[in-house]
A and B are shown apart, each in its own frame.
With several copies, the nearest count.
Chain A
Amino acid sequence: MTYIEISENPLDVQTCINLVLTPETGGINVFVGSVRNMTNGKKVVRLEFEAYTSMALKEMKKIAASIEKKWPVINIVIHHRTGVLSVGDIPVIIAVSAAHRDAAFSACKFAIDELKEKVPIWKKEIFEDGEEWVSAHP
């Protein structure tokens, strides 16, 4: 099963574990993103995440479908938060369960790498003296 969600509400890691854990599960790999306090030596005040939600959900489902073709996994969760986040807040949680741990690790790594490359979600970093859409300019 695949559980995909984009929401303004805080993400919860235990919820994600509960969604992927089954009696057949031997291992779960989880990636938890976190808002860092610094970017290139500049102090981050907050982040603002925006999504093209309908397309982002489609792209996230494609990532899950690719995983299911590549590795013997059981369940996949991809939860992404949008809106205003502060340092230490969690913008993304990915959790993958599998009978054997190697598949869970590989699939979770693949999921976050793909998400960062393809899913139409954007973050703006707000510094003390300005703001910037991440990766927008060369």
Chain B
Amino acid sequence: MIVEVHAYGIVKDIFKKKSVQVEIQINSTSHLREVLESLYPDLKTLSVYRFAVNEEYVLNDMILKEGDEIAIIPPVSGG
């Protein structure tokens, strides 16, 4: 399926836009990570990044479904 991935902070600079649409063969965040890292290798230079699905952190792997709100969360630095 095709998913939209929202970007914040440095990931917006890496994507060069606020969100990207990518096609995934397996509907999981671990597969999405592979696809994104092949399209945007600079993601691998980050200290760490997580996914959030529907505004909740993904702790391990997670199955994605149509309509999920997906975001990449690079290291946070609020406060």
Cross-chain contact A117 with B76 (CB below 8 angstroms): yes
Cross-chain contact A120 with B76 (CB below 8 angstroms): yes
Instruction: Select B78's contact among A58, A80, A124, A133, beta carbons within 8 Å.
Output: A80
Range, interface on chain B: 20 to 34
Q: In the docked arrangement, what's the CA distance between A120 and B57, Å? A: 10
Cross-chain contact B9 with A118 (CB below 8 angstroms): no
Interface string of A95-138 (1 = CB under 8 A from B): 00000000000000000100111111111100000000111111
Smallest CB gap from B75: residue in A: A135
Cross-chain contact A123 with B78 (CB below 8 angstroms): yes
Smallest CB gap from B14: residue in A: A136
Does A49 sit within 8 A of B, measured CB to CB?
yes
Smallest CB gap from A125: residue in B: B77
Cross-chain contact B46 with A136 (CB below 8 angstroms): yes
Does B13 sit within 8 A of A, measured CB to CB?
yes
Interface string of B56-78 (1 = CB under 8 A from A): 11000000000000010111111
Closest CB of chain A to B19's CB: distance in Å?
Answer: 12
Cross-chain contact B77 with A123 (CB below 8 angstroms): yes
20 contacts between A and B (CB under 8 A): A49-B78, A52-B73, A115-B79, A116-B76, A116-B78, A116-B79, A117-B76, A118-B57, A118-B76, A119-B76, A119-B79, A120-B71, A120-B73, A120-B76, A120-B78, A122-B78, A123-B78, A133-B9, A133-B10, A135-B76
> Residues of A with Cβ closer than 8 Å to B?
33, 49-52, 54-56, 58, 80, 91-92, 112, 115-124, 133-138
> Residues of B with Cβ closer than 8 Å to A?
6, 8-10, 13, 45-47, 52, 55-57, 71, 73-79
Rank and list the top 9 A-B pairs by shortest CB-CB distance, nearest first: A121-B78, A122-B9, A134-B77, A55-B55, A133-B10, A135-B75, A136-B10, A116-B79, A138-B47
